[in-house]
Amino acid sequence: MGLDELARQAELSPHHFHRMFKAITGVTPKAYANAHRADRVRKALPRSFSVTDAMYDAGYNSSGRFYAESDAVLGMRPAAFRAGGRDAAIRFAVGESSLGAILVAASERGVCAILMGDDPDALARDLQDQFPCASVAGGDPAFEQLVARVVGLVEAPRIGLDLPLDVRGTAFQQRVWQALREIPTGETASYSAIAARIGAPKSARAVAQACALNRVAVAIPCHRVVRNDGALSGYRWGVERKRALLDREAHD
DNA sequence: GGTTCTCTGCCGC
DNA sequence: GCGGCAGAGAACC
């Protein structure tokens, strides 16, 4: 379905429909459609009979094109993604920091979740809800070191962290999260400033939503986004942790 | 190669 | 707020 037909169903001109769509969702209709198609194919690939089936079912109409953009969409060749997705090897471990328990989860592609909370068991349950196949990375020295690095980042944010991340989201969310990573340590930005920075000045609410959906605490510093008047606004892992993180970043 | 579609800026109502 | 037009660029064939 093209832009014209969508606009007709919404009883708007193509131009105005486009404008409204972008104002509300933060992305253009085409980008929105692409992100959903990519999402469909990611879900379909591990269960499909063949790569071609998954691609076709998800709405790609040219295998050449699909393969050409598979790197951007999947991060690897489709066949590799299909094989890897079968038993989605996500492993996790829980560490302790001065801000409470920290759960670090990683796929083979990179860190896919950093959760904070008071109760380690609750964190593990939270993760299982998001990644049902995740398994505990027990007794793995490399993974222990990864957790230690994340805890180190929480204790001393200036160190910075250059870890491969495996964050999956819509095109708009990706743009927001990338913008968040560009906020320097020790500084903050408002939701509307981030919206402006990604070229969607009217999408402050959508930005806030994307921040709230960030699964990778600290590494994607959604805690550095505050209200226009400087008030802290909310934080998925508790506003007290947000305050503590910002204090640390400002003073060390 | 040309064509069609998407997206944006500008202007006018 | 809404729509038309035009132009650039991407996607498509």
A2-58 confidence digits (pLDDT tens): 888 888 888 888 899 999 998 888 888 988 888 888 888 888 887 788 888 888 888
**C13 C1' – A64 CA distance, angstroms?**
14
Q: Alpha-carbon distance A186 to A231, whole Å?
A: 16
Q: What is the pLDDT of residues A101-110, one digit of tens each?
A: 999 998 877 8
- Asked if strand B contacts A15 at the CB level, meaning under 7 A, the answer is yes
Q: Which residue places its CA closest to the C1' of nucleotide C2?
A: A16
Q: What is the pLDDT of residues A126-137, one digit of tens each?
A: 888 887 767 777
In chain A, the domains with their CATH numbers are 3-85 (1.10.10.60), 91-159 (3.30.160.70), 171-251 (1.10.10.10)
Of residues A248 and A199, more confidence is placed in A248
Q: What is the pLDDT of residues A48-89, one digit of tens each?
A: 888 888 888 888 877 888 888 887 777 677 887 777 654 457
> Which residues have C-beta within 8 Å of that of residue A41, sequence separation ≥ 6?
A54, A55, A58, A60, A66, A73, A74
A20-59 residues near strand B (Cβ < 7 Å): 22, 28-31
Question: Is position A133 annotated as part of the catalytic site?
Answer: no
Q: Positive or negative, the Cα torsion across A141, A148, A165, A158?
A: negative
**C8 C1' – A62 CA distance, angstroms?**
26
- Return the H-helix or E-strand segment holding A165: none
**B13 C1' – A22 CA distance, angstroms?**
23
Residue located via tokens 């809800």: A129
Q: What is the pLDDT of residues A140-190, one digit of tens each?
A: 788 888 889 889 888 887 766 667 788 877 778 888 998 898 888 888 999
- How many Cβ atoms sit within 10 Å of the Cβ of residue A75? 18
A166-205 residues near strand B (Cβ < 7 Å): 199
- Asked if strand B contacts A19 at the CB level, meaning under 7 A, the answer is yes
